[in-house]
Amino acid sequence: MALTVSESKLKQALEQQKKAYELGKFCLKYNIDKVVLHALAHDEHMKEEKRREAIVAGRYE
C-alpha cells in the first residue's frame, strides 16, 4: 500500500509548519507563553463574535 500526498496538501502542511515555527520564534523573542497568546487570540475572537451578533441584532453600528 503506497502512501500518496497531493502537492497542495504538502504545501499546506509546509506552510502550517512555517507559521508554527515563526510563532515559536516570536514567543521566544518576547518571552510570551503560547498558552497566553492563544488565550488572547481567543478573547479577541470572542469580542468579534459578540460584535457580529450585536450588528445582526441591530444594537451596534
Residue 37, in any domain of the structure = yes
Contact 34, 23 (CB under 8 A): yes
- Residue 40 is placed in which grid cell? 488572547
pLDDT of residue 24: 83
Q: Is residue 13 part of a domain?
A: no
First to last CA, the chain: 57
Strands (E), 1-61: none
Among 10-19, 30-39, 47-56, the range of highest mean pLDDT? 10-19
Would the pLDDT of 53 be above 90?
no
Averaged pLDDT, 17-44: 83
What does pTM read for this prediction?
0.45
Domain hosting 45: range is: 31-61
Total domains in the fold of the chain: 1
